[in-house]
Structure 1
């Protein structure tokens, strides 16, 4: 036995170390399984899985309420199958024409922000961020503060910031159920007071109240496996408690140690140093393994409560924001962004007209379809003006805005194009394309790195339409020399386009409208990139294009003066080109040729390009299958919460980076397997081929590169579809390594940037390369950045430097206004990196008191109407609203499905301490109406009138009456049968009584008979006597009086007694 233990201990150490390096538990992300050999490992619920599951449920609810689609049965979806189910949900509701990629991006943004709470410098050891150390008041204050940031950001259309705040909020909310004793108390529903203004979260154990008892270790010496170690009186009294964890600090940086000699609980688990401080053990339910979670047996209960609480939070956001903004918040709209950045100087008159006509054409041709753009952005610019930006979901508002543009002033001198582009990038949906129209260079070229970094961070392609002297590529090939400024201007745009996967198109004024046909081809809801090659050598190039069974509508574009192309199907047959042929020409200019392949046969197609000059080739298609990627950090082996968190900025060279790959829309009916992640140069050369470790079947993978290439590269995923056809997808954004990196050291969730106020954000820059003097710069789209403590940091190899920036918001800034900050560093040797973060304007004082909504009166009734007659009757509801805080923001009726009249009297945003009334009139078909009022900081209230809903249609009533009639008839038949049986039964008893009873009647002691019977038993005489006893074989009853009568038709015996009366008739 001793030998066995000796051999097992080293294996256990190896096991623990392996676990510490790849964590999967109720922690940051859906990471690698803690125990790959455990068949139940997929039942571990991480923060990521909990968030995804809740998002799946709320997305299904939203789609089913807006679309006529079957969302399917979601009850038994395992944690490792959630993304596959999301893909199926979108396919059931939209078919193959819509990709779930943008919803995935929103979900991953929330999930990443959630997981990074455990890894961020400012929050990973903050007790209130995890409901540790009995910091319940501070934890709920954090939830309320983040809730305000979420709602105010949504109200201002700052959806990316709202997602980040949501992820941070959800981490703390979910930790409540894993770290507290809520489950141990026996609760089966979430705590209704968390993150709810003015609500009570429950009683908290006092600082001197013992809450835990010692528990023992498994096998006597390995790790603590605790059951029932929370003191019974704590749970019986409903006192909230949570565990202390080692090395935690409060907001001021003060240590928060576990009190000694009190008997408080520990968080517990292998990495928690406080687990050996009495009371020893712990109570966390983060995983289902007792090595990490002493209360592992309650892991699933805690996770299910966390899922419910997360769902309830999302539903409260939907109620407060309304369906339109909720759809934008989660990217539940199906289209992408249609974004134009337009130079409005006088020389751009033709371009403005062309972009206007193209925008109207796109909108009118797709209106009401799933491929319609989901939002619209217009940013005009000139010198010195930029904006105002128009950001809307209303196509008519966008058409009006672009129609109102007037070309005036200036010429083709440099303009503030990059400032306008920065605004557009900050407001566009991730994965979109931004189109810039100009004939001039950039007067603000100093923003090139900031703009490029923002585009890369959001995976947005930037395409430039250059129609003036700045666009001289074609003319240069005609030996027309270019001025140095023109070369520099075009190169500025080219560097942005190449880095983001966009392009620069040099066109004449007469070609603008024709070229903008590319906008129509690109702005789709399911565009995927198959191939992208830049600067391919002149001559004849044969390019293999794998097309899979999920693809349709393939677009092939070659850019190069005079270039031609041929398309061959998988059998090698050259495809004819024509209006009704398989291949049609969409755009044909001197520098650009675009063709469309409509009837796609899966297999290996060939595109042959013939060009006398270098050329660019790109191939896209419509498909619901795509992929997303991110560089991620894994936690070190000394943390309580192993997991991964996305890396900000460029990856650091010389390290072994971890890469997460998320497949979109792939399930076994479409995709057989995913085989590799390739690192490809801009020219198409394969630089590295990485194997993929599957974390979620056909949904999530991880790869590790031994060392990243020094030259820029892009990612390509390859695999096979369900019919064994090769497939590939490319993310065109270029990736480049760096020798430095940033870390934000301020907890951004605790900053309060108020109107007219300032905040400081601290950060460090780490240098992994050779000595360098790093120039630091910071820019933001709202121009809130005021200064840096220093604009340069000299750093030796391995050193890090501290810095601070100051931001100031104008006094006029609305609550929820969010600025997107891009922080960059560049050394003399060319090392470069960036980080992007967001700061939101908040009210000066916390306001957690919601406005009030009250139904004052209801005029009219909807009783006794059905769905066929409800239009014939109307009702009017009068409501009253009031706010005592920062003032009302919006008042609106919800859940209506027809015409109505809404009169809101004397309302303007910001009204406070004043009652506002409104009248709502509608037909009785809209009895499900509710009224929602919100204030300027996101608090809201809902009121509903007491209306009788319309009865079902008459056809339904007839059926109902038929069923009722049948029921009544059956009841009557049954009643008649019972009566007949009862009568027959009584008659049988009567005849038996006549035969059975041969009563011997005696007088009280005299023995004189009172009745005389004949031989048949009939009574032939009557007599009356008191105090008579009647004896039979069954009963002996003493009666006071007996009266007997006879007659020709029968006889009647009447007996009056103290206790019983019996009447017999014959």
Structure 2
């Protein structure tokens, strides 16, 4: 039965008020499972996000140490609220200050957010199989297997963002298994090896009519259940799985899943579970350390350890299945940034194409082998009417070949499909990147304006346009035609909303202007200041420089504008090639300078301009920030949680804003003081205080009401030396009076090649009556139709709609389309972005096979210093009986090998493929990995003995000789000991016989025969007797007493007998 504990009621009241208060510290961590992975942290709660971060930290450390051979430090004692700090330190240890951990943070937060949203999304928050509730173990594991297929197929197609979302959803369900089931109570110390593994057994499940729990008692008799040992003992002894029922749950078909009465099933339990009072009363969840929420709170530490291990094992299985290159892309573990060009290839673009080629080659060649080299390359050409194909690669040579093959041709009519190309680039670019668009024509597909802008905002990607034609020609606004102004405004709208810019240049200025690309494409670029339409005249702008900053870039855009730079002491800095300030770009209306060797303190930039101007200041720094609007549940009936808000925030509400600092730890940052809402002109609209959730890493802020005008976010604080610092996210934020909610569970949606699916959604109107125009666009052309393109809605009304998507018959598994859904009426606009992946018609749980069939050559008994003098060849065979093979590859320490794969092409099934691998004995640690089209894989390893270390052969000979000598000596000693023991036994027996003679009087006769012994010998004998043993002394005394005068002779005789025995 359960055991109850007491709790101070006043403290409980304070706790609950703090939990649900907007400023309370505890409203954030409660994202679902709240567990603790180490004994040292037993007083802390770990959320789904913290478990995921900890596992990501461990696998990232393993990856970096294996790839870069860097010291990752001791991670065993990292506290749950210090994980982000440790991630920053990990990147600095491996790359130094020139590389930011921001992109890894983004990947981690995408996974973490998708994880937490399972508790809040309409389709999954009450779905038992999404949480392993109500004994839905079969359905829960089927969900894991389905998501696993989506993860692996998406990675196989380079759809890493989609893969991260699916991974987060999978991990939520996987982690819930350990908190919601009785796996821990059974006494297991390792994760369930069958979960998310095709064809594996997860264990036996209790029958529907089998009682699983007993009643618990309540703390103080009326507060809440504190349960221990309430799971029936026979259930755990038999190894039967069970989990608790929770109130208001429904299955995939919308049917209620209620706790059966009269059976004795377990409840999930806790404050939010309405089934906790139905017998068996109580619950078994281990979500938190607090018994108010978790009846088995005393076991949440053990559950956390298993959840972390299981999460790590899943990530490592992904690495094995995909290989290091794709795994690094999946988690953004590469050090470099994205180089993305969208290029108009019509006939008038010769100069632009040549300039972009030259600049791309310069960037790649100047940074090759350095941590600042781009690690992701995207090229999207567009013409009329063709857009693409897009080139997305990690190979700089492949990108150079692609951009080198571009030729200017075709076109004719001026407008081009530029926005469609930008949309493709946005879908494939990493969050936080910059896209550079080269064109001299207006957009022919301006209807994509809203969806392109929305996708750029959603991914925090800046879009910069180099306009070199009629649309970009330098003319006064008055002299532009109305159409030219409108077309330029299309590009300007996208650039301003995403934090990019529009540069009007001539053909002869294209190459010089592309110098901006070189300045921007860095891993550690941060934004310090951005002002648009500053008034003409002299403007003095303050630039706080902190100790983490270097290479400050200042750009002023305005006809004839000039600038001056003053250091913290007020000294005007000279400008020149070798001076502190150097000019990087100088056109008639664009001036860009670089400030090197900046010292911390308050710098000033003075701009002199006769016209309005734009000013932007960036720098190199490993310290930056990210933000998100988040939705949270904090009521008395629903599971508490936090999930990112899709689209724009709704006006009139009190939005919660999460701020994640990148690269900040006590050695660099002292504190973060405020989150500012700043207008496009630099004016401060609101200053919000920050509630710290993780020291120097994660904060939350609440705005009483957001401004109606567009704004951007800025954080301020102080570095470790008390210098002021600030960072800006240039993407503009605007509120909306409507919002979307996707009501279809996209994880269970199966879009197959040639198939059709429907996605349902609801639009809520939070403003006045309006007629909303609904639009759906995607980058793959899957969207076919909407049930209605128009929704008239009164204030507060919901509108229901449905879209239909169709995949081409030849679409490959893993192909993912990014859908942007928009709603617009007079004065109202919002959007939502989601992804759908093409899946196989049926699940394929049978992995391909890999077998070593032959080996020629050996590396045994070979000195390592001569390992390259001998080679070996391994022949392997591969086969798949499902949808077919995707890839076969060797995994070796380097590329110094010969690999021959015979007659292979993706999709081969029921056919054996052979391959030969030849390498020197310097590379014996090799394995071969085969994957099929749905992500199943197999690994085989040849039994190759590694070569012996240097001088190992000679050392082995000496070792064997030494061992032989040692064995000989041991045997000799044993023989000697046996011989001595044998002699002693013989003498001992002789002594015994003599004693017997003495007792019978025979000793006196013997002594009489030796009377003539010399006196000197007798004296020596007496001296020896003085040191004989006490036992001999006693024997002598007994004989002397018996013989009287002849005792002297008896003494001598006894002594001689003892000498003989000792010898």
- Using the alignment, how far apart are the partners of 2:220 and 2:253 within structure 1? 41
**Secondary structure of 1:596's match?**
strand
Superposition deviation, residue 869 in structure 1: 1.8
Q: What does the per-residue CA deviation read over 1:702-749, in whole Å, with 9 as the maximum and x for residues that have no partner? A: 000010000000000000000000000000000000011000000000
Alignment RMSD: 2.9
Aligned with 2:624 (options 611, 623, 626): 626
- Using the alignment, how far apart are the partners of 1:696 and 1:175 within structure 2? 23
Superposition deviation, residue 1010 in structure 1: 13
Superposition deviation, residue 410 in structure 1: 2.1
8 Å CA contact 2:988, 2:1061 repeated in 1: no
- Using the alignment, how far apart are the partners of 1:435 and 1:655 within structure 2? 36
Q: What does the per-residue CA deviation read over 1:769-790, in whole Å, with 9 as the maximum and x for residues that have no partner? A: 1111111100000011000011
8 Å CA contact 1:998, 1:1017 repeated in 2: no
Q: Does 1:814 align with 2:784?
A: no
8 Å CA contact 2:551, 2:597 repeated in 1: yes
Q: What does the per-residue CA deviation read over 1:232-263, in whole Å, with 9 as the maximum and x for residues that have no partner? A: 11000000000000000000000000000001
8 Å CA contact 1:532, 1:732 repeated in 2: yes
8 Å CA contact 1:377, 1:428 repeated in 2: yes
8 Å CA contact 1:268, 1:294 repeated in 2: yes
- Using the alignment, how far apart are the partners of 2:792 and 2:343 within structure 1? 40
1:364-383 equivalences in 2 (<5 Å): 364-383=365-384
Instruction: Look up the match of 2:1048.
Output: none
- Against the structure 1 CA distance between its residues 607 and 412, is the aligned structure 2 distance closer, same or farther, given a 3 Å change threshold? farther
8 Å CA contact 1:714, 1:734 repeated in 2: yes
Instruction: Look up the match of 2:257.
Output: 256
Q: What does the per-residue CA deviation read over 1:686-713, in whole Å, with 9 as the maximum and x for residues that have no partner? A: 0000000000000000000010000000
8 Å CA contact 2:823, 2:829 repeated in 1: yes
- Against the structure 1 CA distance between its residues 25 and 483, is the aligned structure 2 distance closer, same or farther, given a 3 Å change threshold? closer
- Using the alignment, how far apart are the partners of 1:25 and 1:686 within structure 2? 27
- Using the alignment, how far apart are the partners of 1:203 and 1:703 within structure 2? 47
Superposition deviation, residue 12 in structure 1: 4.0
1:57-456 equivalences in 2 (<5 Å): 57-411=58-412, 413-456=414-457
Q: What does the per-residue CA deviation read over 1:878-922, in whole Å, with 9 as the maximum and x for residues that have no partner? A: 111111110000001113324111111111110001111111111
8 Å CA contact 1:17, 1:637 repeated in 2: no
- Against the structure 1 CA distance between its residues 725 and 416, is the aligned structure 2 distance closer, same or farther, given a 3 Å change threshold? same
**Secondary structure of 1:476's match?**
coil
Q: Does 1:922 align with 2:922?
A: no
Superposition deviation, residue 996 in structure 1: 7.3
- Using the alignment, how far apart are the partners of 1:612 and 1:790 within structure 2? 52
1:989-1004 equivalences in 2 (<5 Å): 998-1000=994-996
Q: What does the per-residue CA deviation read over 1:663-699, in whole Å, with 9 as the maximum and x for residues that have no partner? A: 0000000000000000000110000000000000000
Q: What does the per-residue CA deviation read over 1:2-28, in whole Å, with 9 as the maximum and x for residues that have no partner? A: xxxxx9767745643543466569852
1:754-769 equivalences in 2 (<5 Å): 754-769=752-767
State how many pairs are aligned: 1008
Q: Does 1:46 align with 2:83?
A: no
- Using the alignment, how far apart are the partners of 2:888 and 2:648 within structure 1? 45
- Using the alignment, how far apart are the partners of 1:958 and 1:545 within structure 2? 68
8 Å CA contact 2:984, 2:1061 repeated in 1: no
Q: Does 1:734 align with 2:732?
A: yes
**Secondary structure of 2:73's match?**
coil
Instruction: Look up the match of 2:475.
Output: 475
- Using the alignment, how far apart are the partners of 1:877 and 1:40 within structure 2? 48
- Against the structure 1 CA distance between its residues 25 and 752, is the aligned structure 2 distance closer, same or farther, given a 3 Å change threshold? same
Superposition deviation, residue 570 in structure 1: 0.5
- Using the alignment, how far apart are the partners of 1:75 and 1:467 within structure 2? 56
**Secondary structure of 1:607's match?**
strand
1:594-609 equivalences in 2 (<5 Å): 594-609=592-607
Superposition deviation, residue 998 in structure 1: 2.6
- Using the alignment, how far apart are the partners of 1:879 and 1:656 within structure 2? 62
Instruction: Look up the match of 2:942.
Output: 945
Superposition deviation, residue 964 in structure 1: 9.0
Q: Does 1:893 align with 2:890?
A: yes
8 Å CA contact 1:412, 1:440 repeated in 2: no
- Against the structure 1 CA distance between its residues 43 and 995, is the aligned structure 2 distance closer, same or farther, given a 3 Å change threshold? same
8 Å CA contact 1:20, 1:638 repeated in 2: no
- Using the alignment, how far apart are the partners of 1:245 and 1:1016 within structure 2? 109
Q: What does the per-residue CA deviation read over 1:61-111, in whole Å, with 9 as the maximum and x for residues that have no partner? A: 000000021000011111111000000000000000000000000000000
1:963-978 equivalences in 2 (<5 Å): none
User: Structure 2 stretches of 5 or more lacking a match?
Assistant: 1-6, 1014-1031, 1036-1059
Superposition deviation, residue 41 in structure 1: 8.7
Q: What does the per-residue CA deviation read over 1:405-447, in whole Å, with 9 as the maximum and x for residues that have no partner? A: 1101224711000000000000000000000000000000010
Q: What does the per-residue CA deviation read over 1:851-894, in whole Å, with 9 as the maximum and x for residues that have no partner? A: 11111122222111232122111111111111111000000111
Superposition deviation, residue 959 in structure 1: 7.8
- Using the alignment, how far apart are the partners of 1:960 and 1:600 within structure 2? 60
- Using the alignment, how far apart are the partners of 2:628 and 2:620 within structure 1? 23
Instruction: Look up the match of 1:542.
Output: 540
8 Å CA contact 1:150, 1:165 repeated in 2: yes
8 Å CA contact 1:271, 1:640 repeated in 2: yes
Superposition deviation, residue 497 in structure 1: 0.2
- Using the alignment, how far apart are the partners of 2:844 and 2:41 within structure 1? 45
Q: What does the per-residue CA deviation read over 1:992-1038, in whole Å, with 9 as the maximum and x for residues that have no partner? A: 887776332599xxx998998456999x9xxxxxxxxxxx999xxxx
Instruction: Look up the match of 2:830.
Output: 833
User: Structure 1 stretches of 5 or more lacking a match?
Assistant: 1-6, 1021-1031, 1035-1062
- Against the structure 1 CA distance between its residues 960 and 234, is the aligned structure 2 distance closer, same or farther, given a 3 Å change threshold? same
8 Å CA contact 1:464, 1:493 repeated in 2: yes
8 Å CA contact 1:882, 1:916 repeated in 2: yes
Instruction: Look up the match of 1:506.
Output: 504
**Secondary structure of 2:250's match?**
coil
More helix by share: 2
1:997-1036 equivalences in 2 (<5 Å): 998-1000=994-996, 1013-1014=1006-1007
Q: Does 1:845 align with 2:848?
A: no
**Secondary structure of 1:999's match?**
helix
- Against the structure 1 CA distance between its residues 971 and 466, is the aligned structure 2 distance closer, same or farther, given a 3 Å change threshold? same
8 Å CA contact 1:25, 1:287 repeated in 2: no
- TM value normalised by structure 2: 0.91
**Secondary structure of 2:62's match?**
helix
8 Å CA contact 1:892, 1:932 repeated in 2: yes
Q: What does the per-residue CA deviation read over 1:613-640, in whole Å, with 9 as the maximum and x for residues that have no partner? A: 1111111011000000000011131345
- TM value normalised by structure 1: 0.91
Superposition deviation, residue 928 in structure 1: 1.2
- Using the alignment, how far apart are the partners of 2:513 and 2:499 within structure 1? 18
**Secondary structure of 1:706's match?**
coil
Range with greater deviation from structure 2 (328-337 or 121-130): 328-337
Instruction: Look up the match of 1:19.
Output: 19
- Using the alignment, how far apart are the partners of 1:903 and 1:315 within structure 2? 27
- Using the alignment, how far apart are the partners of 2:518 and 2:1010 within structure 1? 110
- Against the structure 1 CA distance between its residues 981 and 722, is the aligned structure 2 distance closer, same or farther, given a 3 Å change threshold? farther
Q: What does the per-residue CA deviation read over 1:32-86, in whole Å, with 9 as the maximum and x for residues that have no partner? A: x99xxxx979721110000000000000000000002100001111111100000
- Against the structure 1 CA distance between its residues 998 and 1009, is the aligned structure 2 distance closer, same or farther, given a 3 Å change threshold? closer
Range with greater deviation from structure 2 (635-644 or 211-220): 635-644
8 Å CA contact 1:103, 1:330 repeated in 2: yes
- Against the structure 1 CA distance between its residues 965 and 701, is the aligned structure 2 distance closer, same or farther, given a 3 Å change threshold? farther
Aligned with 1:28 (options 8, 28, 31): 31
1:646-665 equivalences in 2 (<5 Å): 646-665=644-663
Aligned with 1:723 (options 709, 721, 724): 721
- Using the alignment, how far apart are the partners of 1:68 and 1:341 within structure 2? 37
Superposition deviation, residue 641 in structure 1: 2.9
